[in-house]
Amino acid sequence: MNPPADKPSQSYDSFVHPITNDERGGFDVHVYFQQNVESEVKFATELWERIRRECTLTITILKTRTNSPSTVPELRVYRIWDKPIGPHPIAMFEVNLFTPAQFGAFIPWLVINRGPLSALLHPNTGDDIRDHSQRATWLGQPFPLQIGLLRRLLEKRAEAAQNNQ
């Protein structure tokens, strides 16, 4: 049996370093579906709608650094992409998770409700290549990501940012 702790771990309130704890969200969840399989398109669209209805209430949290209230969505749900985009090899939609509590609630929900779809979970640490590869976790069948394409996109973004300075 574990010895009793004096207080709960800080990991219940914020993601561990180097995972972000800001507006970007600590984790991205990419839910994949085969855009040429009608039943998967239908299931993905229904799941996306269900997530938007059930999981996107706006909540107010207290920012620990400034002790000022901040309103964030419970989850941020992006549009459905009906074709490959960026490093993602098939159609998908993305959900951002902002807190460990959201992660703890949403991921078990998704495990039960994702049906035939696969999902890629990855942290956001600022190292996009490593986050999408070494630090990634899959629910269901994994799909090979286009990491080389992601690397080129990041290089172009960095180049553009440097040119704008």
CA gap 38, 160 in Å, rounded: 39
- Over the stretch 83-113, which tens digit does the pLDDT of each residue have? 999 999 999 999 999 999 899 999 999 999 9
pTM, full prediction: 0.85
CA gap 52, 109 in Å, rounded: 13
- Give residue 61's pLDDT: 47
CA gap 111, 118 in Å, rounded: 10
- Give residue 54's pLDDT: 85
- Over the stretch 48-77, which tens digit does the pLDDT of each residue have? 999 998 876 554 444 444 555 555 557 899
Q: Which domains does the chain have, with CATH numbers?
A: 23-163 (3.30.70.1240)
Length of the chain: 165
CA gap 108, 12 in Å, rounded: 16
